[in-house]
Chain A
Amino acid sequence: AQSVTQLGSHVSVSEGALVLLRCNYSSSVPPYLFWYVQYPNQGLQLLLKYTSAATLVKGINGFEAEFKKSETSFHLTKPSAHMSDAAEYFCAVSMNTGFQKLVFGTGTRLLVSP
């Protein structure tokens, strides 16, 4: 079975500081990995995806994530936080073939202070 662990239910940063949101996965086969963002009263928006191509994945809004098989990690980073980045972030994993369901982590709420 696949699972995802997100360390830290809340992360607080100052505007302009580095954002680091942690995600570790468990999978018996090489997975697909995703980061989604949820703004208040909205659905989920895809930030980026890893599908076994380049291990460093660049997404929207300046976010990127690096797939590290040895650490079973897929941490999300952004060099400089903006107030508009405040939201809930979800890491998700799926099997790497066909139409597969997503298994989500518990989410990390990013708080950005001025």
Chain B
Amino acid sequence: SAVISQKPSRDICQRGTSLTIQCQVDSQVTMMFWYRQQPGQSLTLIATANQGSEATYESGFVIDKFPISRPNLTFSTLTVSNMSPEDSSIYLCSVALGVDQPQHFGDGTRLSIL
């Protein structure tokens, strides 16, 4: 498997501000994924991030609200922009170590917006 580190692990933010979440992997991976887990709910994919190309967003998620960077094969960031209380969630990154391999997850970032 892989060691996946997310920062910050949790944060409390004011509405209207933005927060950038970092995801670092201890090995090079082609594909990284960002998920949102709203309180008491399951995980929903926000976008898929492939190194060297624009992220692919799922229906209901837009780049202006959730810009993603993928500068190299071990790192990605997700920014939650202009936050509102509805953005209070756990945000998780995951990686696939190879084709047809299962995804492995970081511990998530627990975000609360006041």
Q: What residues make up the interface of A, taking CB atoms closer than 8 Å to B?
A: 32, 34, 36, 41-46, 49, 51, 90, 96-99, 101-107
CB–CB A44/B100 < 8 A: no
On chain B, the number of residues with a Cβ less than 8 Å from chain A's Cβ atoms is: 26
Verify A104–B42 contact, CB threshold 8 A.
yes
Q: Determine if B45 is an interface residue (Cβ-Cβ < 8 Å).
A: yes
Question: With the chains together, A44 CA to B102 CA distance in Å?
Answer: 12
Write 13 A-B pairs (CB below 8 A) sorted by A numbering. A32-B100, A41-B110, A42-B108, A44-B94, A46-B103, A46-B104, A51-B100, A96-B100, A98-B100, A99-B30, A101-B45, A104-B43, A107-B42
B48 within 8 A of A: yes
Point out the residues of chain A lying under 8 angstroms from B1, CB to CB: 46
Query: Residues of A contacting B110 with CB < 8 Å?
Result: 41
Contact partner of B102 (CB less than 8 A), chosen from A49, A90, A101, is A49
Q: Chain A: which residue is nearest B47 at the CB level?
A: A101
Verify if B41 is at the interface (C-beta below 8 Å from A): yes
**A interface SS class:** loop
Q: How far is the CA of A27 from the CA of B54 in the complex (A)?
A: 28
Complex contacts, A43 vs chain B, CB 8 Å: 4, 6, 92, 105-108
Contact B92 A102 (CB under 8 A): no
Q: Are A46 and B102 in contact (CB under 8 A)?
A: yes
| Contact (Cβ within 8 A) B100 A97 | yes
Complex Cα distance A36/B106, Å?
Answer: 13
Q: A53–B6 Cα gap in the complex (Å)?
A: 33
- Is the CB–CB distance between A44 and B45 below 8 Å? no
Q: Given A90-B43, A101-B45, A105-B42: A34 and B105 within 8 A (CB)?
A: no
B50 — nearest CB in chain A belongs to which residue? A99
**6 tightest A-B contacts by CB?**
A43-B105, A44-B105, A43-B107, A99-B31, A104-B42, A104-B43
Q: CB distance B103 to A102 under 8 Å?
A: yes
- Minimum CB distance partner of A96 in chain B: B100
